[in-house]
């Protein structure tokens, strides 16, 4: 196998994807399996039933399925957030010895923003903030307190449409209830509930996860690092941290730098301990500690195939079960660390905030002890430079110019046309998508047309491998964007973190509205989002909360249920009436770029700034 964007060797997931043809019912058509009178396959045209045994129509079934996927995605992001908040509360109580409140300034800012006290003592303040955040999950009535972070126009619109989330857990549960057999059976009504649930993710769970991790581990600032399998070191004990919760990895990174560990590694013939990240955990520790990245989602099995990984730690989300079978062929120890997730064939060492230090030490010892068991090592040499660490704070600083501390200069650059608009390119890498190269094709086209690109998740890592996350990439930008990037010394593609950090993109968009000159609502901005290689339900939750916030989103791969014309009319057009934004679908990366560019130009025209 020799595809662009891969190392030229076999990727097990790609082989399996070739063997398994995607089920056409689950993709375009409407397939319902929520009750035992079915599963029912229904279609609006051609041969086959028009409605399910219960009478359900294709558009209802498609909306029901989408709503369920959004609920699962929201649950994943938010349950992850809950885990981080619980650790944060334990730190505030003094019962998590491996952690501390790192960014106290951000903590005070948050507390002031949320109106929860002015206590001098950071631990007291953290307890207040932690209590408010935990309350957001279980709130039964009223409005999510964090919804107030949205621009006033957007909040008004949500209120008018009944879309302000009550509690995070409540919206997820209600989505599951409404999609049970025989409950909510009107497509648009179901889509609105999908949106309310997604908003509980975007403005709730994800904001909470990002904010709390910034306070605990530091708010990202621009740093350089490297990405690709070449970051694994042949002479070192290699540990790959994979998954989504950066809690244990944070402690591990700190401990690994300890002289004791280097000495232990030397005793078994290694030069030291090398930690590399994978998937969103990679994004987290990359942003805050410039820890290099081994790979994105699609390459997880490949890391083990190098024969150089002594230990792979996994917690929750986007961990392929196939890792266990691959690890069994090598000396690699696969260890699950979350109470929520186990894999047959993997060892389980559970993380808890109270014992994180001991657990991290035990795992480091286990990795070092495994070094002598290595057999053949074959690490592809590639590793690409990248710059990371852009959040609403650092972008404000980097783009602030003479208006340091505001988004005015970004807005001015957009108004005067140096930058045409902003695109968020997010989500996964998918073996079904255009040969793993779609991110590069798409992003190059956007950048060449003077669109500033913000990236997160595995999409960010794919762009990094493509060499797009360095200031020198401005060479391939259009003349306006190039000038801005060169003046500021920033890349044309800004790495904003993990998938929950899509909340950073929302906050930046809100800042752009606040800075003035580009309309009064998020739907006025010349901004679009896309997930060209999405695979996870989380990506659908993200897309739906962007749309519910007024930012249109393009999806690649396939759009679930799109064969139902009535459903397609709703998601691709109808939603615009209510949200000022809708989905669009385009599997071809070039064409997707063109659609985004057209959307941005349309928004510019509406603002009267087409020049």
Among 35, 324, 349, 488, interactor with ligand SF4 by CB under 6 A: 35
Token reading at 565? 């014309």
DSSP string, 129-194: HHHHHHHHHH--SS--GGGGGS-HHHHHHHHHHT-S-S-HHHHHHHHHHHTSTTS---HHHHHHHH
Least separation, in Å, of the C-beta of 173 and ligand SF4?
Answer: 19
37 near ligand SF4 (CB under 6 A): yes
User: How many DSSP H helices and E strands does the chain contain?
Assistant: 25, 16
Between residue 55 and residue 94, which ones bind ligand SF4 under the rule CB under 6 A?
56, 61
Which is nearer to ligand SF4, 102 or 176 (by Cβ)? 176
Among 219, 438, 536, 552, interactor with ligand NFS by CB under 6 A: 536
Alpha-carbon distance of 8 to 243, in angstroms, equals 25
Which is nearer to ligand SF4, 52 or 548 (by Cβ)? 52
Least separation, in Å, of the C-beta of 281 and ligand NFS?
Answer: 8
Which is nearer to ligand NFS, 457 or 480 (by Cβ)? 457
Task: Convert 362-428 into a string of H (helix), E (strand) and C (coil).
Answer: HHHHHHHHHHHHCCCCCCCCCCEEEEECCCHHHHHHHHCHHHCCCCHHHHHHHHCCCCCEEEEECCC
Could you say which DSSP state residue 332 is in?
P
Among 13, 14, 34, 462, interactor with ligand SF4 by CB under 6 A: 34
Choices 35-43, 330-338, 519-527, 533-541 (CB under 6 A): range interacting with ligand NFS = 533-541
Q: Is beta strand 223-227 parallel, antiparallel or unpaired with respect to 384-388? A: antiparallel
Residue 181 binds: one of ligand SF4, ligand NFS, none (C-beta under 5 to 8 A by kind): ligand SF4
Among 11, 208, 275, 280, interactor with ligand NFS by CB under 6 A: 280
Q: Which helix (H) or strand (E) holds 495?
A: strand 493-495
With contact defined as beta carbons under 8 Å apart, do 308 and 238 qualify?
yes
Choices 53-61, 394-402, 464-472, 557-565 (CB under 6 A): range interacting with ligand SF4 = 53-61
Least separation, in Å, of the C-beta of 575 and ligand SF4?
Answer: 24
Residue 403, CB-side half-sphere exposure with 13 Å CA sphere: 13
Between residue 151 and residue 210, which ones bind ligand SF4 under the rule CB under 6 A?
181
Among 4, 8, 22, 39, interactor with ligand SF4 by CB under 6 A: 39
Tokens 């003094």 appear where? 94
Token reading at 235? 């002479």
Alpha-carbon distance of 252 to 520, in angstroms, equals 45
25 near ligand SF4 (CB under 6 A): no
Q: Which residues contact 285 (CB under 8 A, 6 or more apart)?
A: 241, 246, 249, 250, 253, 275, 277, 291
Q: Which residues contact 592 (CB under 8 A, 6 or more apart)?
A: 438, 442, 530, 532, 554, 556, 586
53 near ligand SF4 (CB under 6 A): yes
Choices 27-35, 125-133, 207-215, 548-556 (CB under 6 A): range interacting with ligand SF4 = 27-35
Alpha-carbon distance of 543 to 526, in angstroms, equals 17
Between residue 455 and residue 514, which ones bind ligand NFS under the rule CB under 6 A?
457-458, 499
Which is nearer to ligand SF4, 181 or 188 (by Cβ)? 181
Which is nearer to ligand NFS, 275 or 426 (by Cβ)? 426
538 near ligand NFS (CB under 6 A): yes
Q: Would you tell me which residues interact with ligand SF4 (CB under 6 A)?
A: 32-35, 37-40, 52-54, 56, 61, 181
Q: Would you tell me which residues interact with ligand NFS (CB under 6 A)?
A: 244, 279-280, 297, 317-318, 427-428, 457-458, 499, 536, 538-539
């Amino acid at each position: 196998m020799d595809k662009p964007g891969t190392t030229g060797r076999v990727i097990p997931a790609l082989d399996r994807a070739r063997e398994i043809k995607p089920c056409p019912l689950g993709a375009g058509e409407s397939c319902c399996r929520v009750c035992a009178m079915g599963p029912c396959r229904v279609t609006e045209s051609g041969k086959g039933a028009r409605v399910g045994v219960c009478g359900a129509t294709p558009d209802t079934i498609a909306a029901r399925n989408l709503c369920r996927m959004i609920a699962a995605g929201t649950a994943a992001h938010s349950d992850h957030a809950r885990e981080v908040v619980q650790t944060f509360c334990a730190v505030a109580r003094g019962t998590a010895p491996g952690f501390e409140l790192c960014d106290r300034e951000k903590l005070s800012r948050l507390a002031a923003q949320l109106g929860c006290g002015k206590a001098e003592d950071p631990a007291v303040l953290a307890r207040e903030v932690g209590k408010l955040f935990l309350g957001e999950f279980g709130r039964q009535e009223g409005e999510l307190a964090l919804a107030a972070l949205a621009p006033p126009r957007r909040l008004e619109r949500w209120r008018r449409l009944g879309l302000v989330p009550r509690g995070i857990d409540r919206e997820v549960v209600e989505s599951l209830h409404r999609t049970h057999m025989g409950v909510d059976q009107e497509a648009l009504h179901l889509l609105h509930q999908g949106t309310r649930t997604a908003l509980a993710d975007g403005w709730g769970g994800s904001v909470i996860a990002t904010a709390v991790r910034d306070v605990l581990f530091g708010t990202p600032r621009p740093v350089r690092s490297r990405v690709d399998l070449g970051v694994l070191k042949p002479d070192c004990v290699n540990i790959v941290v994979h998954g989504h919760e950066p809690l244990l990895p944070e402690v591990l990174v700190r401990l690994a730098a300890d002289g004791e560990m280097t000495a232990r590694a030397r005793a078994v013939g290694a030069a030291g301990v090398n930690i590399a990240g994978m998937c969103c955990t990679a994004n987290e520790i990359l942003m805050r500690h410039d820890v290099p990245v081994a790979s994105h989602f699609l390459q997880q099995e490949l890391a083990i195939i190098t024969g150089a990984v002594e230990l792979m730690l996994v917690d929750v989300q986007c961990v392929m079960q196939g890792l266990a079978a691959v690890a069994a062929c090598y000396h690699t120890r696969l260890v699950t660390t979350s109470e929520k997730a186990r894999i047959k064939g993997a060892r389980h060492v559970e993380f808890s905030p109270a014992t994180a230090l001991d657990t991290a030490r035990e795992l480091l010892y286990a990795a070092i002890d495994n070094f002598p068991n290595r057999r053949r090592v074959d690490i592809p040499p590639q590793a690409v430079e990248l710059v990371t660490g852009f959040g609403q704070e650092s972008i404000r600083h980097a783009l602030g110019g003479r208006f340091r501390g505001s988004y005015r200069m970004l807005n001015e650059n957009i108004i005067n046309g140096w930058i045409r608009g902003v695109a968020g390119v997010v989500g996964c890498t998918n073996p079904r998508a255009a040969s793993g190269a779609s991110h590069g094709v798409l992003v190059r086209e956007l950048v060449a047309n003077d669109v500033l690109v913000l990236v997160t998740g595995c999409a960010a890592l794919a762009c990094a491998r493509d060499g797009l996350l360095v200031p020198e990439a401005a060479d391939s930008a259009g003349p306006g964007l190039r000038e801005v990037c060169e003046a500021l010394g920033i890349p044309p593609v800004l790495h904003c973190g993990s998938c929950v950090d899509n909340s950073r993109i929302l906050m930046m968009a809100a800042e752009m509205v606040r800075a003035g000159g580009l309309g009064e609502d998020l739907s006025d901005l010349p901004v679009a989002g896309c997930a060209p290689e999405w695979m996870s339900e989380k990506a659908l939750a993200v897309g739906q909360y962007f749309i519910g916030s007024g930012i249109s989103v393009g999806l690649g791969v396939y759009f679930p249920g799109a064969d139902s014309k009535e459903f397609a009319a709703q998601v691709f057009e109808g939603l615009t009436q209510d949200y000022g934004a809708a989905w669009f679908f385009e599997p071809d990366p070039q064409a997707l770029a063109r659609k985004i560019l057209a959307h941005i130009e349309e928004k510019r025209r509406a603002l009267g700034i087409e020049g």
